[in-house]
Amino acid sequence: MIKAIVNGSMPFEITSEGNEISCDGKKAAWSAEALPSGGYSILMDGKSYVAQVMKTDREARTVTLQLGQDVFEVKLEEPMDRLLAAMGISGASSRKLNDIKAPMPGMVLKVLVSPGQAISKGDPVLILEAMKMENVFKSPSDAVVKEVKVTERKAVEKGEILIVLE
Protein backbone atom coordinates (compact mmCIF):
# COMPACT_ATOMS: atom_id res chain seq x y z
CA MET A 1 0.00 0.00 0.00
CA ILE A 2 1.35 3.41 -1.02
CA LYS A 3 0.23 6.65 0.57
CA ALA A 4 0.07 9.59 -1.86
CA ILE A 5 -0.18 13.12 -0.48
CA VAL A 6 -1.34 15.64 -3.08
CA ASN A 7 -0.29 19.29 -2.65
CA GLY A 8 0.54 18.65 0.99
CA SER A 9 -3.01 18.04 2.12
CA MET A 10 -5.03 15.35 0.39
CA PRO A 11 -3.74 11.88 1.37
CA PHE A 12 -4.83 8.81 -0.60
CA GLU A 13 -4.02 5.15 -0.02
CA ILE A 14 -3.25 3.30 -3.22
CA THR A 15 -3.21 -0.48 -3.40
CA SER A 16 -2.69 -2.77 -6.36
CA GLU A 17 -3.44 -6.42 -6.93
CA GLY A 18 -2.57 -7.78 -10.33
CA ASN A 19 -3.93 -5.31 -12.89
CA GLU A 20 -6.39 -3.71 -10.46
CA ILE A 21 -5.67 -0.49 -8.60
CA SER A 22 -7.73 0.88 -5.72
CA CYS A 23 -7.66 4.40 -4.33
CA ASP A 24 -8.98 4.68 -0.75
CA GLY A 25 -10.62 1.28 -1.18
CA LYS A 26 -12.45 2.17 -4.42
CA LYS A 27 -11.42 0.30 -7.55
CA ALA A 28 -10.29 2.57 -10.34
CA ALA A 29 -10.75 1.65 -13.99
CA TRP A 30 -7.88 3.29 -15.85
CA SER A 31 -5.36 3.05 -18.65
CA ALA A 32 -2.47 5.23 -19.77
CA GLU A 33 -0.55 5.64 -23.01
CA ALA A 34 2.68 7.56 -23.54
CA LEU A 35 2.38 10.46 -25.99
CA PRO A 36 5.06 11.49 -28.51
CA SER A 37 5.30 14.83 -26.66
CA GLY A 38 6.54 13.01 -23.55
CA GLY A 39 3.27 13.32 -21.66
CA TYR A 40 0.62 10.68 -21.02
CA SER A 41 -2.94 10.22 -22.17
CA ILE A 42 -4.90 8.83 -19.23
CA LEU A 43 -8.40 7.35 -19.30
CA MET A 44 -9.79 6.99 -15.78
CA ASP A 45 -13.38 6.13 -14.84
CA GLY A 46 -14.57 7.22 -18.29
CA LYS A 47 -12.79 10.61 -18.25
CA SER A 48 -9.82 11.53 -20.43
CA TYR A 49 -6.80 13.47 -19.11
CA VAL A 50 -3.49 14.60 -20.56
CA ALA A 51 -0.73 14.57 -17.94
CA GLN A 52 2.77 15.97 -18.16
CA VAL A 53 5.47 15.01 -15.65
CA MET A 54 7.07 18.36 -14.77
CA LYS A 55 9.63 17.23 -12.17
CA THR A 56 10.66 14.05 -10.37
CA ASP A 57 12.68 14.06 -7.15
CA ARG A 58 13.53 10.47 -6.28
CA GLU A 59 15.25 11.32 -2.99
CA ALA A 60 12.31 13.35 -1.68
CA ARG A 61 9.90 10.89 -3.34
CA THR A 62 7.89 13.61 -5.06
CA VAL A 63 6.49 13.97 -8.55
CA THR A 64 5.11 17.21 -9.96
CA LEU A 65 2.39 16.67 -12.56
CA GLN A 66 0.45 19.02 -14.77
CA LEU A 67 -3.12 18.03 -15.70
CA GLY A 68 -4.55 20.67 -18.02
CA GLN A 69 -3.84 24.01 -16.32
CA ASP A 70 -3.54 22.48 -12.83
CA VAL A 71 -0.22 21.50 -11.23
CA PHE A 72 -0.07 18.84 -8.52
CA GLU A 73 2.87 17.85 -6.31
CA VAL A 74 2.47 14.25 -5.21
CA LYS A 75 4.56 12.86 -2.34
CA LEU A 76 4.67 9.08 -2.22
CA GLU A 77 5.19 7.14 1.01
CA GLU A 78 5.85 3.44 0.92
CA PRO A 79 5.33 1.11 3.90
CA MET A 80 9.06 1.30 4.76
CA ASP A 81 8.83 5.10 4.99
CA ARG A 82 5.97 4.82 7.49
CA LEU A 83 7.87 2.16 9.49
CA LEU A 84 10.95 4.40 9.72
CA ALA A 85 8.74 7.31 10.83
CA ALA A 86 7.15 5.14 13.53
CA MET A 87 10.65 4.29 14.77
CA GLY A 88 11.50 7.99 14.99
CA ILE A 89 13.86 8.08 12.03
CA SER A 90 11.57 9.54 9.40
CA GLY A 91 13.22 11.11 6.41
CA ALA A 92 16.42 9.15 6.92
CA SER A 93 16.13 7.49 3.54
CA SER A 94 15.44 10.76 1.72
CA ARG A 95 17.63 13.19 3.63
CA LYS A 96 19.61 15.36 1.26
CA LEU A 97 22.62 17.56 1.82
CA ASN A 98 21.75 21.15 0.90
CA ASP A 99 24.80 23.08 2.08
CA ILE A 100 28.51 22.74 1.39
CA LYS A 101 30.34 23.94 4.50
CA ALA A 102 33.98 24.63 5.23
CA PRO A 103 35.41 21.75 7.30
CA MET A 104 38.28 24.01 8.45
CA PRO A 105 39.33 27.65 8.21
CA GLY A 106 40.89 28.62 4.91
CA MET A 107 40.98 30.89 1.86
CA VAL A 108 38.61 30.50 -1.10
CA LEU A 109 40.86 30.28 -4.15
CA LYS A 110 38.26 29.69 -6.85
CA VAL A 111 34.48 29.36 -7.10
CA LEU A 112 33.67 27.00 -9.98
CA VAL A 113 29.87 27.32 -10.06
CA SER A 114 27.24 30.05 -10.21
CA PRO A 115 23.64 30.35 -8.94
CA GLY A 116 21.13 28.49 -11.09
CA GLN A 117 23.74 26.12 -12.49
CA ALA A 118 22.80 22.43 -12.65
CA ILE A 119 25.58 20.19 -11.34
CA SER A 120 26.08 16.44 -11.10
CA LYS A 121 27.36 14.36 -8.21
CA GLY A 122 31.14 14.65 -8.08
CA ASP A 123 31.39 17.90 -10.07
CA PRO A 124 33.98 20.30 -8.59
CA VAL A 125 32.30 23.39 -7.10
CA LEU A 126 34.99 25.25 -5.15
CA ILE A 127 38.73 25.23 -4.32
CA LEU A 128 39.70 26.08 -0.74
CA GLU A 129 43.27 26.55 0.46
CA ALA A 130 43.77 25.34 4.01
CA MET A 131 47.06 24.55 5.77
CA LYS A 132 48.96 25.28 2.52
CA MET A 133 46.98 22.63 0.63
CA GLU A 134 44.40 23.10 -2.12
CA ASN A 135 41.18 21.22 -1.41
CA VAL A 136 38.68 20.69 -4.23
CA PHE A 137 35.10 20.48 -2.97
CA LYS A 138 32.76 18.34 -5.07
CA SER A 139 28.98 18.15 -5.26
CA PRO A 140 27.60 15.43 -2.96
CA SER A 141 24.63 14.83 -5.30
CA ASP A 142 22.93 15.97 -8.48
CA ALA A 143 21.60 19.44 -7.65
CA VAL A 144 21.11 23.02 -8.70
CA VAL A 145 23.26 25.75 -7.14
CA LYS A 146 20.85 27.91 -5.16
CA GLU A 147 23.35 30.39 -3.76
CA VAL A 148 27.11 31.01 -3.60
CA LYS A 149 27.81 32.61 -0.20
CA VAL A 150 31.55 33.26 -0.63
CA THR A 151 33.84 35.14 -2.98
CA GLU A 152 37.29 34.31 -4.25
CA ARG A 153 40.35 35.38 -2.22
CA LYS A 154 38.29 35.68 0.99
CA ALA A 155 38.93 33.84 4.26
CA VAL A 156 36.27 31.51 5.66
CA GLU A 157 35.81 29.98 9.10
CA LYS A 158 35.19 26.34 10.02
CA GLY A 159 31.52 25.44 9.55
CA GLU A 160 30.77 28.47 7.38
CA ILE A 161 28.29 27.79 4.57
CA LEU A 162 30.06 28.12 1.22
CA ILE A 163 27.45 26.98 -1.32
CA VAL A 164 23.73 26.23 -0.92
CA LEU A 165 22.29 23.47 -3.14
CA GLU A 166 18.70 22.59 -3.90
Q: How far, CA to CA in Å, does 58 sit from each of 9, 85, 90, 109, 130? A: 20, 18, 16, 34, 35
- Kindly give the confidence (pLDDT) of every residue in the chain, 166 residues in length, as a single tens digit, with 9 standing for 90 and above: 888 899 988 788 988 887 788 889 898 888 889 999 888 998 888 899 999 999 888 778 889 999 888 999 999 888 877 776 777 665 544 445 578 998 889 999 999 999 999 998 889 999 999 888 898 999 888 889 999 999 999 999 998 999 999 8
Assigned domain for 93 exists? no
Which phi and psi angles does 79 have, rounded to 5°?
Answer: -55, -35
Count of domains for the chain: 2
**Residue ending a domain, choose from 86, 113, 141:** 86
Q: Are residues 74 and 147 in the same domain?
A: no
Q: Which domain holds residue 154?
A: 99-165
Q: Is the pTM of this model over 0.85?
A: no
